[in-house]
Amino acid sequence: MSGTTVGRASVVPPRLARIGAVGAGREYQSENALVSSPEVFRADATHAGAVARLLFDFNTEFDTPGPGTDLLAARFARLLERDDVIVLLTGSDNNPTGFALLTLRPTPYYDGPLAQLEELYVRPELRDQGQGTALLQPAIRLIRERGGGEIHINVDEVDADARRFYERHGFVNVEPGADYRMLCYLRQL
């Protein structure tokens, strides 16, 4: 983890406000005009069911065990009320096509939060059309706006496409000045 400190984050999280409809999507803008896209919008608790379906589809596609959509929807309804959980969606309210799930936590290394990109998923038929990038770029801007210093993501070593995607966007698995890879360990509880 790098020890570089960035500017003090605002205590009040950026509030996204609707500024008008554009095509099939919606356009949103943060207080500092850092997030703006006709294809990407921030989910709120009313999107819990849609986010749950996308996560369930993601887990199903990659044979990852997990809760069913009803339980996921109930959890997302609670999570999306929190300031330290951010979900960005592509598509529309009626037909979301992808999502990015970020969680934030305090860290002594930065004035702002450390972010974990928990999931980033785009429906298979819409991949390689820029939707992953459309989700990732505003996610990075939101974290920077809050004074965050790092975003972590765990990627399976065998998932060459995901590794290539994140590397293309500046993510690394070797810390600057080191000649060895970073690893993630976990323990089921």
pLDDT at 16 over 80: no
Q: In this predicted model, which residue has the larger pLDDT, 189 or 176?
A: 189
Residue 124 burial (C-beta neighbours within 10 Å; 0-12, 13-18, 19+): exposed
Question: Would you place residue 31 in the very low, low, confident or very high pLDDT band (cuts 50, 70, 90)?
Answer: very low
Structural domain spans, the chain: 42-168
pLDDT score, position 133: 96
Condensed to tens digits (0 to 9), the pLDDT of residues 139-175 reads 999 999 999 999 999 999 999 999 999 999 999 999 8
pLDDT at 50: 97
Quick one: CA torsion of 31, 80, 134, 53, rounded to 10 degrees? Answer: -160
* Range in 3-12, 35-44, 58-67, 109-118 the model is least confident about: 3-12
Supply the pLDDT for residue 63.
Answer: 92
**For the whole prediction, is pTM greater than 0.85?**
no
Fold of 42-168: Aminopeptidase (3.40.630)
With 60 as the cut, is the pLDDT of residue 2 above it?
no
Query: Contact, 105 vs 57, CB < 8 A?
Result: no
**pLDDT for residue 39:** 83
Mean pLDDT, the chain, rounded, equals 82
Digit-coded pLDDT (tens) for 34-90: 344 448 999 999 999 999 999 999 999 999 999 999 999 999 999 999 999 999 999
Is residue 3 predicted with pLDDT exceeding 70? no
DSSP code string of 9-61: PPSSPPPPEEEEEETTEEEEE-TTS----SSEEE--GGGHHHHHHHHHHHHHH
